[in-house]
Structure 1
Amino acid sequence: MAISINALPNDRDIKQDTGVAAFFSEENFNKLKGIMHTKKVEVHGYLFQEGESAEYMYFVKKGRVKLTKTTDTGNKITLYLHHTGDMFGHITPFQPSVQAFSAEVIEDAEFGVIEQAELERLLLKNGDLAIEFMRWMGAMYRMTQAKFRDLLLYGKPGALCSLLIRMSNSYGIQQGSHIAINYKATNMDLAEMIGATRESVNRMLSDMRKAEVLDIISGTIVIKNMDYLRHTCRCELCPIEICRV
């Protein structure tokens, strides 16, 4: 079963307070933009693969990209969905590092690319920018920790409930007391995000529909009982810049 809507969100629909600009002053963010060069990648192309040397960071000017990690059994888990306004990459300034994930473009995209050496020079010259950059890196690490927590501690139902909460923060549209998730995905996509099978996701969604926790209307997931989702995944009420896909 596909979870879809008639119109996907455009850039104005995306909640920009979850993007990288939430961590930087306008002046410092413009300094980052000043060292970016543009790279365009078509859908299904890869920016980098897990284990490659991490020499660049990427700012999403338009399009979408998913970051995945491969388990020791060969299964792929989607840990991040990045869209316009996001920045990602596993650079550790002033020391070599490798990419922790693979980055696959899922919608024709344009990126602002930041080279590690250029970033390091900029941080050395601008102490306030360095502090803001550390704040952003800390938030990214917290987000990764929270997602591994969801995957490991409360089973597949907890992981799915947490994912739905995150999707509502990133793509939710308030409809009275309900929230419609304005994002196109398949049950296989959801399964990859929580390390489950498509069949188990089908079953869990069906159970939640019967319990009136959510509904699926014309292919769109509509959350009706957010408290149930939060209780199931032991929600810690993280700020929105952490609790997102």
Structure 2
Amino acid sequence: MSNQLNVIEARGNTSCFSEQNLERLMVVMKDRIIPEGSHLFWEGDYSDKLFYVKRGRIKLTKSTDEGKELILYMYQAGDMVGQADPFFSTKHSFTAEVIEESEIGVIDQKDLEVLICQHCDFAIDFMKWMGIHHRLTQTKFRDLMMYGKPGALCSTLIRLSNTYGEKHGDTILIHKKITHTDLSNMIGATRESVNRMLSDLRKKDAVEYENGMIVIKDLEMLQDICHCELCPNEICRI
């Protein structure tokens, strides 16, 4: 393993905004510090705000009637969180939980509408942001539905590597501790089946563990299993 360390750049989902338009967002947002374990919003709450993550991590989840949790997105600094439908009074379809103490910029819908109405270039950037969200959702459901649980797991490992990965020579260290329960919640599988699939990948020398963190040793094997379409990193992320 090489001593040289390269951090994989995980661009926030607001990278589609120009510097000027991102600054316009910064001006209207109100900063808040949200403690770990709190929630930005619950499923069923009215969607009248967007949330810009300046620091920390947020997970977006969907719960079933049986109480099982499915992790749909993991947000970090540079990401904007919320239901992307200005001009309409809707309710959140998901719950946003703060998993690290976070600094959040809160953007009211009325301020967003003013920016969209006053600046056509901002409206175009906002449409691009909405497009990224739609593509991210489409590719995640493709991975979950088309290639079985092994394909969904391999896709999730690739997305984790693009979001939290550090290159060490030919391997990639996912520098966030991800439990088997987390992985099972990300792909809608049981923890036991995730244990079994990870054990198979370790036997094939595709992944290993280092200090409790996942190391990807054979990225191409994972890509073959999930029929990877080589999406850009702003789409292929957790």
Verify same fold: TM over 0.5: yes
Equivalent of residue 109 in structure 1, options 79, 102, 105: 102
**What corresponds to 1:130 in structure 2?**
123
Cα distance in 1 for residues equivalent to 2:228 and 2:9: 23
Q: Which residue of 1 aligns with 2:3?
A: none
Which of 41, 44, 53 in structure 1 is aligned with 2:37?
Answer: 44
| Residues 48 and 109 in structure 2, CA contact (< 8 A), matched pair in contact too | yes
Consecutive unaligned residues in structure 2, runs of 5 or more:
1-5
Identify the match of residue 62 of structure 1 among 55, 58, 78: 55
CA–CA distance in structure 2, aligned partners of residues 53 and 28 of structure 1:
26
1:16 shift after superposition? 5.8
Q: Quote the offset at 1:91 in angstroms.
A: 3.4
Paired residues of 1:91 and 1:116 also in contact (CA < 8 A): no
**Residues 54-93 of structure 1 aligned to structure 2 (within 5 Å):** 54-93=47-86
Amino acid at match of 2:164: Y
Alignment partner, residue 167 of structure 1 = 160
Letter in 1 for 2:149: K
Percent of aligned pairs with the same amino acid:
50
Higher deviation after alignment, 27-36 or 89-98: 89-98
CA RMSD of aligned residues (A): 1.5
Q: How many residues align?
A: 233
CA contact (8 A) 1:91 1:98 kept: no
In the alignment, does 2:112 pair up with 1:146? no
Give the distance between the partners of 2:145 and 2:86, measured in 1 at CA.
30
Equivalent of 2:229 in 211, 221, 236: 236
Q: How does 1:175-190 map to 2 (within 5 A)?
A: 175-190=168-183
Q: Aligned match of 1:28 in 14, 18, 21? A: 21
Structure 1 unmatched ranges of 5 or more: 1-12
Q: SS at the partner of 1:23?
A: coil
